[in-house]
Structure 1
Amino acid sequence: MSGLNLQRITDLDIACQTMAFDFLGKILARRLDDGTVLRGRIVETECYPGGEDKASHSHNGRRTPSNEPMYMAAGTSYVYMTYGMYHCFNISSKEPGAAVLLRALEPVEGLDVMQRLRKDRKKKLDDRQLKVDELCNGPSKLCISLNITKIECNKLDLTQSDTLWLEHDPEFSARNIQVVKTSRIGIASAGEEWSKKPLRFYILGNPSVSKRDKNLETKLNSVDFSD
């Protein structure tokens, strides 16, 4: 990413909803064992505030060895497995038991390596190149593409780690983007109240977003985040 004035983010002591909103446009960087650095721009997030949120792994203060990173210092990585085979990547926020799930990235550096990592995982892709916007358009896809695993990437302090960290891109931040604030995905079991809360955020018009809320997009003029 030569020519970009990227600045490492060293302060992540942020409330969960603010973090989920503010992460949009930031860069997630991942250094592999061979020194290769992969980067993707965060384009979709979900907020899991804990407490009364029935979709949170820390609902009602639930605390286990697995979800311990949710109670660690803000900016700690929380990687867990879903369906026994796929990883999801979260970052703890200011409140104990709260975290932000990264749902989608726009690949910006190391695309050839991301292609290889995805193909190694899913052999039927060997005969075709994935489109750039297909590489990281989902929480498990982005983990595969950046080789984010529980063994290597769980419980890392993203403000200090040389394995996984966040960067600010002043050039992108200066752009006039619109953000869609809508319901989270795949949490129907949490009940109607929590499954419908607008705790998912994504950049309007970005092709790497995992799932668009087309009805809301047609009504969107601006986002008021004051609430």
Structure 2
Amino acid sequence: PPMASPNSSSYFSRSLPACGVERLGFSFFNQPCEQLARAMLGQTLVRRVPGVEGALRARVVESEAYPGGLDEASHSRHGRRTPRNVAMFMPPGTLYVYRIYGLHCCLNVSSRGEGSAVLLRALQPLEGVATMRLLRQKPQQASTKCGRGQLPDRKLCNGPGKLCQALSISCALDRTDAASEDSELWFERGEGDVGEESMVAARRVGITSAGDWAERPWRFYIRGNECVSVVDKTAEQLALR
């Protein structure tokens, strides 16, 4: 078989076509939060970075639902609206990008429902992999020069902060419409649906302070995908019963 180019991933044997791919619009995002979190799996995130030739593409392999309301883990819990989380109250398909620990950004997409959004936790690199690797390794160039080597594809976007770094996603994209024709970040229909048998529903990550809400199985990921950030073996075994 032909060798993959430096800017393509070993996880995807061919590039997506330049035309004829369905771009996801308002009607796709306009569904309940948990339902959208499931539907996002397998879809393709496309990022056009200013000054970079070509687009970066990655497959969504892990997501989390944050429906607001009584959910103590949601930024919009109990209808709480702030300048930071206003994107969660905007039309479905609005990007909600915020910074955590003063360092890393997290990417969310608003869904149907007041104060609801889906967090993207992990992506599988498809196109522009060399660019993603460069963007990810900038903060650790010193250690890379010391012989630690380059990051493998599976570790480029296996976490919410990592994927934002790899695709140059910053808070400048907050409140932008992913369904807009002039958006620098949008979603395309992925190749093939992710069936229930390939999907794992597990507890969300890093929200232990949310009490009983931390137990809700509102994190979804593709079973067996090496780019998933956290594998829940217990949830996987329960799903097989």
- Scaled by the length of structure 2, what TM-score is found? 0.86
Q: Which residue type is aligned with residue 97 of structure 1?
A: G
Structure 2 residue ranges without an equivalent (≥5): 1-14
Q: Is contact 2:42–2:194 with CA below 8 Å preserved after alignment?
A: no
Q: Which residue type is aligned with residue 137 of structure 2?
A: K
Shift of 1:215: 1.8
Alignment of 1:1-227 (within 5 A): 1-3=15-17, 6-10=21-25, 11=27, 12-34=29-51, 35-123=53-141, 124-126=143-145, 127=147, 128-151=149-172, 153-160=173-180, 161-169=182-190, 171-173=191-193, 178-191=198-211, 193-221=212-240
1:35-93 Cα offsets, whole Å, 9 max, x none, are 53101100000000001000100010111111000000100000000001100000001
Shift of 1:176: 8.2
Q: Distance in 2 between matches of 1:93 and 1:3?
A: 28
- Over the aligned positions, Cα root-mean-square deviation in angstroms equals 1.7
More deviation in 58-67 or 119-128? 119-128
Structure 1 residue ranges without an equivalent (≥5): 223-227
Shift of 1:141: 0.3
Shift of 1:174: 7.4
Shift of 1:218: 2.6
Moved over 3 A (4+): 2-5, 174-177
Shift of 1:216: 2.1
- Scaled by the length of structure 1, what TM-score is found? 0.91
Q: Distance in 2 between matches of 1:6 and 1:133?
A: 25
